[in-house]
Amino acid sequence: MHQPPPASLHLLINQYLEHLRHRQFSRWTIYARARQLQRFASFCQEISITSPGHVTRESIVAYQRSLCDHRTITGRALKPGSIQHYLVGVKTFLAWLVREHVLSVDHSVGLELPRESQRLPHAALTPAEVQTIFALPDVETTQGLRDRAIMEVLYSTGLRRMELCRLNLDHMDLVNGMVRVEQGKGRKDRLVPIGSEAIGWVRRYLSRGRAALNPADDEPAVFLNLFGRRLSEQLLGGLVHRHIQRSGLGKPGSCHLFRHAFATGLLRNGCDLRHIQTMLGHASLETTQLYTHLDTRQLQAAHQRCHPGQQRSETLQLKASLETLMSEASSLAETQLAKAIDYIRLLKLAQGHHAPADAKMPPNCSP
Which secondary structure element, helix H or strand E, spans residue 192, and what is its range? strand 190-193
Give the residue from 277, 367, 296 showing the smallest Cα distance to 121. Answer: 296
Q: Counting Cβ atoms within 10 Å, is residue 240 exposed (0-12), middle (13-18) or buried (19+)?
A: buried
Candidate list 57, 256, 268, 339, residue with the active-site label: 256
Q: Counting Cβ atoms within 10 Å, is residue 73 exposed (0-12), middle (13-18) or buried (19+)?
A: exposed
Please check whether residue 251 is in contact with residue 244, taking contact to mean a CB–CB distance below 8 angstroms. Answer: yes
Candidate list 160, 171, 210, 243, residue with the active-site label: 160
- 259 included as an active-site residue: yes
What is the CB neighbour count within 10 angstroms for residue 41? 19
Residue type, 84: Q
* Contacting residues for 281 by C-beta, under 8 A, at least 6 apart: 160, 163, 181, 184, 185, 186, 188, 190
- 256 included as an active-site residue: yes
The span from the CA of 261 to the CA of 287, in Å, is 16
* Contacting residues for 274 by C-beta, under 8 A, at least 6 apart: 285
Candidate list 210, 243, 260, 282, residue with the active-site label: 282
What is the CB neighbour count within 10 angstroms for residue 64? 20
How many residues comprise the chain? Answer: 367
- 291 included as an active-site residue: yes
Residue type, 55: V
Distances (CA, A) of 197 to 81, 156, 192, 241, 270: 35, 8, 15, 22, 21
3-state secondary structure of 77: strand
- 160 included as an active-site residue: yes
Q: What angle do CA 303, 306, 311 make, to 5 degrees?
A: 100
Please check whether residue 187 is in contact with residue 208, taking contact to mean a CB–CB distance below 8 angstroms. Answer: no
Candidate list 33, 148, 210, 259, residue with the active-site label: 259
Candidate list 91, 185, 208, 268, residue with the active-site label: 185
Catalytic residues, which ones? 160, 185, 256, 259, 282, 291
